[in-house]
Structure 1
Amino acid sequence: MANTDPMTQRVELATVMDRLAVDGLITEYAVAVDDGDWEGYRGLFTSDGRADYRSAGGIEGDAGQVAGWLAQTMELFPMRQHLIVNRQLRFGPLDHDIGDTAQVRADYVNPMRFAGHGGGSTAPDFVCGGRYDFALLRTDSGWRLHAVVVNEKWRRAPQNRPEPAAT
Structure 2
Amino acid sequence: MTNTWPMTQRVELATVMDRLAVDGMVTEYAVAVDDGDWEAYRGLFAPGGRADYRSAGGIEGDAGQIADWLARTMRLFPMRQHLIVNRRVRFGLLEQDTGDTARVQADYINPMRFAGQDEGSTEPDFVCGGRYDFALLRTDDGWRLREVVVREKWRRTAPTGKEPAAR
Length-normalised TM-score, structure 1: 0.88
Q: Does 1:139 align with 2:139?
A: yes
Question: Which protein has the bigger strand share?
Answer: 1
Preserved contact between residue 78 and residue 113 of structure 1 (Cα < 8 Å): yes
In 1, the alpha carbon distance for the partners of 2:23 and 2:97 equals 24
- Counterpart in 2 of 1:16? 16
- Kindly report structure 1 stretches of 4+ aligned residues shifted beyond 6 Å: none
- Counterpart in 1 of 2:50? 50
Q: How does 1:75-154 map to 2 (within 5 A)?
A: 75-92=75-92, 97-98=98-99, 100-117=100-117, 119-121=119-121, 125-154=125-154
Seq. identity, %: 77
SS in 2 for 1:115: coil
Worse-superposed segment, 151-160 or 19-28: 151-160
- Counterpart in 1 of 2:29? 29
In 1, the alpha carbon distance for the partners of 2:23 and 2:38 equals 20
Unaligned runs of 5+ in 2: 163-167
In 2, the alpha carbon distance for the partners of 1:63 and 1:24 equals 18
Q: Summarize deviations over 1:113-163 as a string: whole Å, max 9, x none.
A: 11114622077610000000000000000000000000000000134446x
Post-superposition offset of 1:95: 5.0
Length-normalised TM-score, structure 2: 0.88
Post-superposition offset of 1:81: 0.3
Preserved contact between residue 114 and residue 123 of structure 1 (Cα < 8 Å): no
- Counterpart in 2 of 1:6? 6
Preserved contact between residue 111 and residue 124 of structure 2 (Cα < 8 Å): no
Unaligned runs of 5+ in 1: 163-167
